[in-house]
Chains A and B, each alone.
Chain A
């Protein structure tokens, strides 16, 4: 084994970790399968961890594992960039990630993902839903599952948010059977926050509050004769809207001190990270930031220099900021993508789609910090240890924030396993 690619430094501390993490895949899967025999509905008691959040940074298009989390700089497949050490002895990442390397002690890597599909659309379905499916609407996405799993009574803000550079989008179609209330709401990282969260022009707070009182009076009258969960949900939606209006500043990044804004940087990505931090502070269960364009069939190395560069510093700042504010203790950050890139460098200096052996990164709560799970061979062509796929990862994310992924959702009298019952989480990564 090449020295540079040695993950574990060989110290006592890490050799324990190594045994723990490098446990046989079969054993891990067997244990998970055993657990799934005892599935049970996700009851109130199962949702133990209140106030946790998941932030997904989705590098859409497929970031190259070679130019990020699994460098192979001594081999022809590795490309021109060097591997650099991180704050965790033995873990190396690409030299394109100098700032992130300094946060590795908050992070964990999975370097052994084989997800099987190399079509963008289909692969995105896999990693988002944690299921092997060809349909985008058959299963809810991670965000919807987390929003439901970490849902709290009376929580005034939406639980499943996709940030965007600016503007406001509608509800998406990504909650499947969980219902549209768990679909993502798109919110721009611009001044002003959520659309329609300001009173109509000319309306005073006094007028607003008296019209609501009259509305409540009408509802109370009606409730005397008819009651239903749907009616209560409708009544509740107004109260939630009022609470959201009271907290509309949360969505307004321009409320941050200038120094903090400067610290994150001026890029769209940086602004969305800052918005995400504000949302995490409010204990919003799920936030996703999309960073698009990672599909470099040509000039892979030039593009990665720019793209990883755009990612590295704000991301590292985000992790450091979360850690400093104590938010990392209750927030899981996942750097996701739909597949990796080919070890073979094509004649246009590009790398093509490669679902056979790729990596993701995580940071924050519920996982061992400074850990690496799984291993690819020297050239990064094949997985040699700890092969997992999108389904195991899905279980792992959920477990990390305290959602029992072996449980089931009960929706309108039907049971739906929260995650694919055929597999379980990467136990070795979980604390």
Chain B
């Protein structure tokens, strides 16, 4: 009874993994039979899990597979796929049986190295690559953001069949084709725009402007790091480059927000918590890192140009930061260094004698301040330089996460020691490839798309029939031992690195101290300069006073003289007037006395004049002394830069060792997880065989948990495909193309074009122009759908956009929203319109499946759909809509295959 109860529970839970026929057998016998099958690798008839069926059709209706049909090819493809190992493969380390033409030349292709790394650490059955029908949908979604049309699916299958070449070759061709299309830059412009903007309000630079800017950049195949540089450097000036300022302007140039987002988006490091103190939980996020980034952006500010009515980024020429830990105020204030992660620093900053010397355009209400030396330009260069490992690793990780659904480091903005990559080796080769390819987006995406890691099936392998790792449990234990020893060895090197790091840090500090000494001297000399200027001010004032006194004396003298002369004339005319002569005498006396003081004043004037001239010279000298010291400081700073280079090298060597420790530690953990699982499974098997004396419910639960844990860990490590929802944009475009809403737009352009062309034979140029016009018209029409649908499926602005969530309002939209429903109405050229004309139900159902789900229906699906159509013949057009709607609202549509 106990066995029976357990078995029933077991059976229910395992329904999806195993199929039993138990009419003629007793429960106990059945249990043994099941286990026996499991243990001998299930050599009997193929079951769904043994072939990793890719679709429901493949699983249950092998007879439906026809070579030309999508899922038929998908089925056969599985078995041909170079990496498809049967679930009971005994050899996790075995190389894929590559076909000869691939073995040599492209052996070092990045995608093969990616796969080799994953094969080297994974100790279980590797999920096979998906069949062609899933692949074509997946790769269309990831590279051009939409699902393939029915024709495109069919064309791909024909190509795959006709070429007769290997899967890899056919897939490589498709990837190349997609990457060469205009739709690629259009789609990736959205991806990158959302990465940079995170759906913040776009009040200063519209999202569309920014997308067009990125699209053109990508269309011209310009390097990604230079795009990032442009984005960090842009100030909003110049028509062509203005949209790049979106990153700064749409964040209102707020320094703390920019620090957070420059850290997160360009380096994958969310240092926000280190604003007020070293991060309480994360060892390697220091307050100095926060202030390092902040000191590059805190001089920038939002400048509203009233005349033009738009905003720009202005920048001040001064402003150094000091910070203090709120936890350790006793440590006092520290001056922030302008340094970015990976020891990318600006160590030779020119200094200016006077504040205004620092400006090309000084700050004012009317004009945007432009400094001679811009810290933001420095940021743009240092942040995106190939030597900036943090930048490279972050960008590689984000691009990988975009394609695979989860980052090698996850969350993508949490690169730190406590959250190491799932495989450092993997992250390293991707980052290196970015640099080696000169940050060519297409080439890295092609490599990722070619990898089996990307192409892997999401279907869980059958663990029951898996015999366990080739090396056996003893082998696993030995591996743990070995790996642990290696990690310990590395850890002993740790001390050496600590010493080297310390001495490199010391060298930087010493060089900085010398610079600081000059800087102190500069400050002193500037003070002296100021003192001289103050003195000059005093002297000039004195000079003015003397001058004005001299002038007033002179003018007094001249009027007295005139008076004396006039008085003498009068005295001659009236000789005997005593009073008159007395007054004349007085006048002459005054004239004499004043005339006497004039030379004295002249002398004083000359003297002060000379003093002023002296001071002016001295100030000039002092100024040039300060300038000279400034140059000396810059020269001195070169040695800081040199020490910084050493520091950077030590850091990057250290990183190599840390990476090895990380990967080793992970490997030991992986093996241990597997051992734990195997132990639980053995217990369950032994217990089941023993028939009694165990608690079945508890064991089953334990086994289920162990299994789930193992599967989750394998999925996380890319041995199984990730289950990921479509992004809001992918969902919108998929809806648009599934309903064939692109056709009316395309038709319209074609008709217009033919009218204008009249009977003329179109030239090659005409055809290019036509292609562009169609592309633009379709994109515009597609935007209507995206603009309506995407916001409902998006995370709020300013937060990471890579999570999946399902809410009631989304479901309500798809069910009842009038606009959404209007897309399902038949109109010239759309899917629904096309379906109306088809009389054969089988054909209708096939069409719907191909257009909406990129595959053919299996017989059960076809049967159900036919019954639906047959049941309400008088409501045919409504039923057609309902059939299409049901698939649009299905999980299969909502998730990447």
Mark A residues whose CB is within 8 Å of B.
134-135, 137-138, 156-158, 170-173, 176, 179-181, 183, 185, 194-201, 207-208, 210-212, 214-215, 217-219, 221-228, 230-231, 233-238, 240-242, 244-245
Of the residues A135, A180, A196, A215, contact of B813 by C-beta under 8 Å:
A196
Is B809 an interface position by the 8 A CB rule?
A: yes
Is B4 an interface position by the 8 A CB rule?
A: no
Cα-based distance from A48 to B737 in the complex (angstroms): 48
Is B355 an interface position by the 8 A CB rule?
A: no
Q: Is the CB of A237 within 8 A of B816?
A: no
Given the complex, which residues of A lie within 8 Å of B840, measured CB to CB? none
Cα-based distance from A185 to B808 in the complex (angstroms): 10
Q: Is the CB of A238 within 8 A of B861?
A: no
Q: Is the CB of B808 within 8 A of A241?
A: yes
Q: A219-B890, A233-B804 are in contact. List 18 more A-B contacts (CB 8 A).
A: A134-B256, A134-B275, A137-B796, A170-B792, A173-B797, A198-B816, A207-B875, A210-B868, A217-B886, A219-B891, A221-B861, A222-B892, A226-B895, A227-B16, A230-B723, A230-B804, A234-B894, A245-B816
Given A137-B798, A214-B883, verify A240-B889 contact (CB < 8 Å).
no
27 CB contacts below 8 A, A to B, read: A158-B807, A158-B808, A173-B796, A181-B806, A181-B807, A183-B796, A197-B816, A200-B815, A214-B864, A218-B861, A219-B890, A219-B891, A219-B892, A221-B56, A223-B891, A224-B48, A226-B459, A226-B891, A230-B724, A231-B723, A234-B725, A237-B808, A237-B810, A237-B811, A238-B815, A242-B815, A244-B812
The minimal Cβ–Cβ distance linking A233 to chain B, given in whole angstroms, is: 4
Cα-based distance from A223 to B56 in the complex (angstroms): 9
Q: Which 9 A-B pairs have the closest CB atoms?
A: A173-B796, A241-B811, A214-B886, A218-B890, A196-B812, A211-B882, A237-B806, A215-B886, A228-B723
Given A200-B821, A230-B723, A231-B895, verify A138-B805 contact (CB < 8 Å).
no
Of the residues B54, B791, B812, contact of A197 by C-beta under 8 Å:
B812
Cα-based distance from A170 to B864 in the complex (angstroms): 38
Given the complex, which residues of B lie within 8 Å of A227, measured CB to CB? 16
Cα-based distance from A227 to B56 in the complex (angstroms): 13
Cα-based distance from A219 to B889 in the complex (angstroms): 9
Given the complex, which residues of A lie within 8 Å of B16, measured CB to CB? 224, 227
Name which of A173, A221, A233, A236 has the most chain B CB atoms within 10 A of its CB: A221
Mark B residues whose CB is within 8 Å of A.
16, 48, 53-56, 59-60, 256, 272, 275, 458-459, 723-725, 791-792, 795-799, 803-818, 821, 860-861, 864, 868, 875, 878, 882-883, 885-887, 889-892, 894-895
Closest to B273 in A: A138
Cα-based distance from A172 to B813 in the complex (angstroms): 17
Total A-B pairs, Cβ < 8 A: 156
Q: Is the CB of A226 within 8 A of B272?
A: no
Cα-based distance from A225 to B56 in the complex (angstroms): 6
Given the complex, which residues of B lie within 8 Å of A241, measured CB to CB? 808, 811-812, 815
The minimal Cβ–Cβ distance linking B175 to chain A, given in whole angstroms, is: 24
Cα-based distance from A183 to B799 in the complex (angstroms): 13
Name which of A172, A198, A237 has the most chain B CB atoms within 10 A of its CB: A237
Closest to B813 in A: A196
Q: Is the CB of B459 within 8 A of A173?
A: no
Cα-based distance from A219 to B725 in the complex (angstroms): 15
Q: Is the CB of B56 within 8 A of A238?
A: no
Q: Is the CB of B811 within 8 A of A240?
A: yes
Given the complex, which residues of A lie within 8 Å of B878, measured CB to CB? 207
Closest to B724 in A: A230
Given A180-B795, A183-B796, A215-B889, verify A225-B811 contact (CB < 8 Å).
no
The minimal Cβ–Cβ distance linking A388 to chain B, given in whole angstroms, is: 21
Cα-based distance from A199 to B821 in the complex (angstroms): 10
Of the residues B723, B798, B805, contact of A226 by C-beta under 8 Å:
B723
The minimal Cβ–Cβ distance linking A325 to chain B, given in whole angstroms, is: 26
The minimal Cβ–Cβ distance linking B54 to chain A, given in whole angstroms, is: 7
Given A196-B812, A210-B882, verify A222-B272 contact (CB < 8 Å).
no
Given the complex, which residues of B lie within 8 Å of A170, measured CB to CB? 791-792
Q: Is the CB of B815 within 8 A of A173?
A: no
Cα-based distance from A224 to B890 in the complex (angstroms): 13
Given the complex, which residues of B lie within 8 Å of A244, measured CB to CB? 808, 812
Given the complex, which residues of A lie within 8 Å of B803, measured CB to CB? 179-180
Closest to B878 in A: A207
Cα-based distance from A219 to B887 in the complex (angstroms): 9
Majority SS at the chain B contact face: helix
Cα-based distance from A157 to B808 in the complex (angstroms): 8
Given the complex, which residues of B lie within 8 Å of A236, measured CB to CB? 806
Cα-based distance from A171 to B728 in the complex (angstroms): 15
Given the complex, which residues of A lie within 8 Å of B883, measured CB to CB? 214
Given the complex, which residues of B lie within 8 Å of A181, measured CB to CB? 805-807
Given the complex, which residues of A lie within 8 Å of B809, measured CB to CB? 158, 171, 185, 194-196
Q: Is the CB of A230 within 8 A of B806?
A: yes
Given the complex, which residues of A lie within 8 Å of B889, measured CB to CB? 215, 238
Q: Is the CB of A207 within 8 A of B882?
A: yes
Cα-based distance from A185 to B817 in the complex (angstroms): 17
Given the complex, which residues of B lie within 8 Å of A185, measured CB to CB? 809
Given A183-B796, A215-B886, A218-B890, verify A225-B812 contact (CB < 8 Å).
no
The minimal Cβ–Cβ distance linking B113 to chain A, given in whole angstroms, is: 29
Given the complex, which residues of B lie within 8 Å of A195, measured CB to CB? 809, 812
The minimal Cβ–Cβ distance linking A54 to chain B, given in whole angstroms, is: 20
Q: Is the CB of A225 within 8 A of B808?
A: no
Given the complex, which residues of B lie within 8 Å of A197, measured CB to CB? 812, 816
Given the complex, which residues of A lie within 8 Å of B806, measured CB to CB? 181, 230, 233-234, 236-237
Cα-based distance from A221 to B864 in the complex (angstroms): 11
Of the residues A172, A218, A230, contact of B886 by C-beta under 8 Å:
A218
The minimal Cβ–Cβ distance linking B765 to chain A, given in whole angstroms, is: 46
Cα-based distance from A269 to B307 in the complex (angstroms): 43
Cα-based distance from A156 to B807 in the complex (angstroms): 11
Of the residues A157, A196, A210, A224, contact of B59 by C-beta under 8 Å:
A224
Name which of B808, B809, B885, B887 has the most chain A CB atoms within 10 A of its CB: B808
Given the complex, which residues of B lie within 8 Å of A134, measured CB to CB? 256, 275
Given A215-B886, A223-B891, A225-B459, verify A240-B808 contact (CB < 8 Å).
yes
Of the residues B723, B812, B818, B885, contact of A201 by C-beta under 8 Å:
B818
Of the residues A172, A222, A224, contact of B796 by C-beta under 8 Å:
A172
Cα-based distance from A238 to B888 in the complex (angstroms): 13
The minimal Cβ–Cβ distance linking A251 to chain B, given in whole angstroms, is: 12
Closest to A223 in B: B891
Cα-based distance from A139 to B569 in the complex (angstroms): 101
Closest to B800 in A: A177
Cα-based distance from A225 to B58 in the complex (angstroms): 10
The minimal Cβ–Cβ distance linking B278 to chain A, given in whole angstroms, is: 17
Cα-based distance from A14 to B859 in the complex (angstroms): 78
Q: Is the CB of A237 within 8 A of B807?
A: yes
Cα-based distance from A76 to B59 in the complex (angstroms): 83
Q: Is the CB of A137 within 8 A of B891?
A: no
The minimal Cβ–Cβ distance linking B721 to chain A, given in whole angstroms, is: 9
The minimal Cβ–Cβ distance linking B796 to chain A, given in whole angstroms, is: 3
Given A194-B812, A237-B806, verify A225-B54 contact (CB < 8 Å).
yes
Cα-based distance from A214 to B805 in the complex (angstroms): 23
Given the complex, which residues of A lie within 8 Å of B725, measured CB to CB? 230, 234
Closest to B60 in A: A224
Cα-based distance from A172 to B54 in the complex (angstroms): 38
Closest to B810 in A: A237
Given the complex, which residues of A lie within 8 Å of B56, measured CB to CB? 221-222, 224-225
Cα-based distance from A374 to B883 in the complex (angstroms): 64
Closest to B796 in A: A173
Q: Is the CB of A233 within 8 A of B805?
A: yes
Given A196-B809, A230-B723, verify A215-B890 contact (CB < 8 Å).
yes
Given the complex, which residues of A lie within 8 Å of B813, measured CB to CB? 196
Closest to A212 in B: B886
Of the residues B53, B864, B886, B894, contact of A211 by C-beta under 8 Å:
B886
Q: Is the CB of A214 within 8 A of B882?
A: yes
Cα-based distance from A233 to B60 in the complex (angstroms): 26
The minimal Cβ–Cβ distance linking A110 to chain B, given in whole angstroms, is: 26
